[in-house]
Amino acid sequence: MIPEAAIEVRDLVKRFPGSTAPALDQVTTAMKAGTITGLVGPDGAGKTTFLRTLAGLLRPTQGEVRVLGLDPQAQSGELRDHVGYMPQKFGLYEDLSVLENLTLHADLRNVVGAERDATFKQLLAFTDLASFTGRYAGKLSGGMKQKLGLACSLLGHPRILLLDEPGVGVDPISRRELWKMVRALSRDGLTVVWSTAYLDEAELCDDVRLMAEGRIRASGTPQELMAVMAGRCYQIAQLADRPRNLLHRVLNAPEVIDGAIQGSQVRIVLREPGVFPDLARLNAGPRAEFKAVAPRLEDAFISLLGGGPGGDSALAEVTHAREPDPALDPDAIIRAQHLCKTFGAFKATDDVSFAVARGEIFGLLGPNGAGKSTAFKMECGLLKPTSGQALVMGLDLQHSPSKARQQLGYMAQKFSLYGQLSVRRNLLFFSEIYGLQGELQRFKVQQMIETFDLAPYLETLAGDLPLGFKQRLALACCVMHEPQVLFLDEPTSGVDPVTRREFWNHIHGLANKGVTIIVTTHFMDEAEYCDRIGLVFRGRLIALGRPDDLKRRCATPERPDPTMEDAFIDLILEAES
């Protein structure tokens, strides 16, 4: 046993009845006391199952778990007093006030009398909730809920704190505040396990466990994990071409395992240090050059998963290039004019205006609940604006005939295919919905099966597909009829970084064929893939422009190269003042 380990896990296996693959597969790890360990991985990697097992909420199928030297099952009574656990969505009673939620947890954890008064005072000051004690938890913002959830899990002075995706549904400012709070706690000796889907969040942790498919694929400090990538990360600057076109070509070079757009540059990860692709053959332009950049945790993770998917989009290859319609304004295929939507007293969308040009990728960015989806749904005619107008190809989809809708594809945020139908049936159904018949229908369905590698899953029920394949099928169903305009609502939410790359390849490929695309995302780094972005915060469009321009607006001498998240935070602060 490692003397300083607060948590030790050996050969942990967890199987759920009815599923073939184990949720946790031979997990062996230890976590040091007084550190923050980041548990990173896509949805379904086993992060939540792991945390629940540590909290004693799930019984291990096999293996040994020791938290503070205690068995979470056999010695649960003793252990519970020392473990604070914040589940996803924070586990608050929404119809109870802030103080009532705190009081409940205090009573349950036997924090009473003078100790309670002192703890409440301290926690309320710490979380900045002192002036909201009477407010129902359901009426708090995402960031305040998160803080209240943290406060509840801190009652009774736990020595272990387990946080399950505390950053989801929370704006970037609140996420940073939470991070500061947790960091302060860990300095006082608290051992923290923090699960997240954001790799940039994990970079701040003392220690990281990269998880995929129930296994821990890599462990170490972020620096150790990123050190492996030293000498392999470069930026190509001074491009002659659009970055996304170069990215396409560079990803197909054998020397490159991963790449991404960064403003007007392309960032690449080399297969081996020092072995570069030939810039001249890539048509990067006469002044193009390599510039070494610091590795990121995401580079390490993608390298571990075997590299990105290359640069080609099979989907774009089978999509016909469309001639622009002379009757339409090429600069405003999609147009939002002063869109407002109120639900009761709540302004979900407040005076949002933008236009999207033909073949452009327009991204709506913002934390969950900021109003992206509401604006998005009004634009494609699913929600009626309270005021303002939403036009697609010059038509208001609320009133326009189904013929106009035939020209657009829509991928909903939540899985909205028929879970009880097989993959093949879903494809057939959606092809019929979009009016494909006979030979053409058979051809397109077969084409989608090949394009998205769905052949092994044809008879699988859509509901039983792995998440990445669900998203692929959903995309297949909405592009089969080759729409001119594509609406994608959080298409990459919850999927692993490699699948995310693949999705962006498709999106870029389609845009090059003249398809106009509007996409929402809460991953700040995905903004880089868009031609232009609109930042949505509390219903308002607080900034609109090219990713590079937005970042440049926030550059300071101390921070010459801000990230999109830095820019977003600055823009929010600017909008608030």
Partner 1 sequence: MSGISGRRLLALCRKESYQIVRDPSNILIAFVLPVMLLFLYGFAINLDSSLVKLGVLRLDDGPAAVSFEQQLQGTPALEVHHGASLRELQTAMSRGEIRGLVVIQNDFTARWLHGQGAAIQVLTDGAEPNTANFVSSYVQGAWQKWQEARAPLADGTPVPGVELRPRAWYNPATISRDYLVPGSIAVVMTVIGALLTSLVVAREWERGTMEALLATPVTAAELLLSKILPYYLLGMVAMALCTGVAVLLMGVPFRGSFLVLAFTSTLFLGAALGFGLFLSTVLRDQFNAAQAALTAGFLPAMMLSGFVFEINSMPWPLRLLTRLFPARYFAGSLQTLFQAGTVPAILIPNDLFLALLMVVWLTLTARKTTRTLD
Residue 190: exposed, middle, or buried by beta-carbon count in 10 A (0-12, 13-18, 19+)? buried
The answer to whether residue 92 forms part of the interface with partner 1 (CB under 8 A) is yes
Distance CA(271)–CA(215), nearest Å, equals 24
The answer to whether residue 438 forms part of the interface with partner 1 (CB under 8 A) is no
In the complex, minimum distance from the CB of residue 464 to partner 1, in angstroms, rounded to a whole number? 19
- Contact residue for partner 1 among 93, 126, 179, 290 (CB under 8 A): 93
**Which of the ranges 4-12, 28-36, 147-155, 420-428 carries the binding residues for partner 1, by CB under 8 A?**
147-155
The answer to whether residue 76 forms part of the interface with partner 1 (CB under 8 A) is yes
Residue with tokens 């359901």: 138
CB closer to partner 1 out of 161 and 569: 161
Residue 461, classed as helix, strand or coil, is strand
The answer to whether residue 203 forms part of the interface with partner 1 (CB under 8 A) is no
Amino acid at the residue 64: E
Subset of 329-358 contacting partner 1 (CB under 8 A): none
Residue 567: exposed, middle, or buried by beta-carbon count in 10 A (0-12, 13-18, 19+)? buried
Residue 183: exposed, middle, or buried by beta-carbon count in 10 A (0-12, 13-18, 19+)? middle
- Contact residue for partner 1 among 83, 151, 212, 365 (CB under 8 A): 83
CA atoms within 13 A on the CB side of 221: 6
CB closer to partner 1 out of 58 and 251: 58
**Cβ proximity of 132 and 144 under 8 Å:** yes
In the complex, minimum distance from the CB of residue 229 to partner 1, in angstroms, rounded to a whole number? 37
- Contact residue for partner 1 among 3, 18, 77, 113 (CB under 8 A): 77
Distance CA(449)–CA(453), nearest Å, equals 6
- Contact residue for partner 1 among 4, 59, 343, 435 (CB under 8 A): 59
In the complex, minimum distance from the CB of residue 115 to partner 1, in angstroms, rounded to a whole number? 14
Can you say how many angstroms the Cα of residue 147 is from the centroid of all Cα atoms in its chain?
21
Distance CA(491)–CA(372), nearest Å, equals 13
3-state secondary structure 25-84: EEEEEEEECCCEEEEECCCCCCHHHHHHHHCCCCCCCEEEEEECCECCCCCHHHHHCCEE
- Which DSSP letter does residue 526 get? G
In the complex, minimum distance from the CB of residue 155 to partner 1, in angstroms, rounded to a whole number? 9
Which structure tokens are listed for 51? 């945390």
Subset of 181-200 contacting partner 1 (CB under 8 A): none
Distance CA(372)–CA(369), nearest Å, equals 7
In the complex, minimum distance from the CB of residue 216 to partner 1, in angstroms, rounded to a whole number? 22
Query: Applying CB under 8 A, what is the total number of residues that bind partner 1?
Result: 37
The answer to whether residue 89 forms part of the interface with partner 1 (CB under 8 A) is yes
CB closer to partner 1 out of 4 and 95: 95
Which structure tokens are listed for 337? 């004019």
In the complex, minimum distance from the CB of residue 168 to partner 1, in angstroms, rounded to a whole number? 12
Residue 8, classed as helix, strand or coil, is strand
The answer to whether residue 175 forms part of the interface with partner 1 (CB under 8 A) is no
Instruction: List 289's β-bridge partners, or say none.
Output: 237
CA atoms within 13 A on the CB side of 259: 31
Instruction: Bin 334: left if φ > 0, else alpha if -120 < ψ < 50, else beta.
Output: beta
For residue 77, the tally of other CB atoms under 10 A from its CB is 9
Instruction: Provide the H-helix boundaries in 256-371.
Output: 297-304, 314-318
- Contact residue for partner 1 among 13, 30, 57, 355 (CB under 8 A): 57
- Contact residue for partner 1 among 94, 317, 561, 576 (CB under 8 A): 94
Which structure tokens are listed for 542? 């607080």
Nearest to 470 by CA among 23, 168, 19, 44: 44
The answer to whether residue 81 forms part of the interface with partner 1 (CB under 8 A) is yes
Subset of 26-55 contacting partner 1 (CB under 8 A): 52, 55
**Cβ proximity of 194 and 38 under 8 Å:** yes
**112-116 CB contacts, 8 Å cutoff, 24+ apart:** none
In the complex, minimum distance from the CB of residue 85 to partner 1, in angstroms, rounded to a whole number? 4
CB closer to partner 1 out of 105 and 248: 105
- Contact residue for partner 1 among 96, 293, 304, 395 (CB under 8 A): 96
CB closer to partner 1 out of 13 and 571: 13
Nearest to 415 by CA among 469, 361, 362: 469
CB closer to partner 1 out of 58 and 527: 58
In the complex, minimum distance from the CB of residue 220 to partner 1, in angstroms, rounded to a whole number? 29
In the complex, minimum distance from the CB of residue 59 to partner 1, in angstroms, rounded to a whole number? 5
In the complex, minimum distance from the CB of residue 182 to partner 1, in angstroms, rounded to a whole number? 17
In the complex, minimum distance from the CB of residue 57 to partner 1, in angstroms, rounded to a whole number? 5
In the complex, minimum distance from the CB of residue 382 to partner 1, in angstroms, rounded to a whole number? 24
In the complex, minimum distance from the CB of residue 116 to partner 1, in angstroms, rounded to a whole number? 11
CB closer to partner 1 out of 146 and 451: 146
CB closer to partner 1 out of 80 and 405: 80
The answer to whether residue 416 forms part of the interface with partner 1 (CB under 8 A) is no
Subset of 99-118 contacting partner 1 (CB under 8 A): 100, 103-105, 107-110, 112
**Which of the ranges 2-10, 92-100, 195-203, 396-404 carries the binding residues for partner 1, by CB under 8 A?**
92-100
CB closer to partner 1 out of 92 and 536: 92
Distance set, CA 65 to CA 4, 31, 52, 219, 288 (Å): 15, 12, 12, 18, 53
Query: Which residues make up the interface to partner 1 (CB under 8 A)?
Result: 52, 55-59, 73, 76-77, 80-81, 83-96, 100, 103-105, 107-110, 112, 149, 152-153
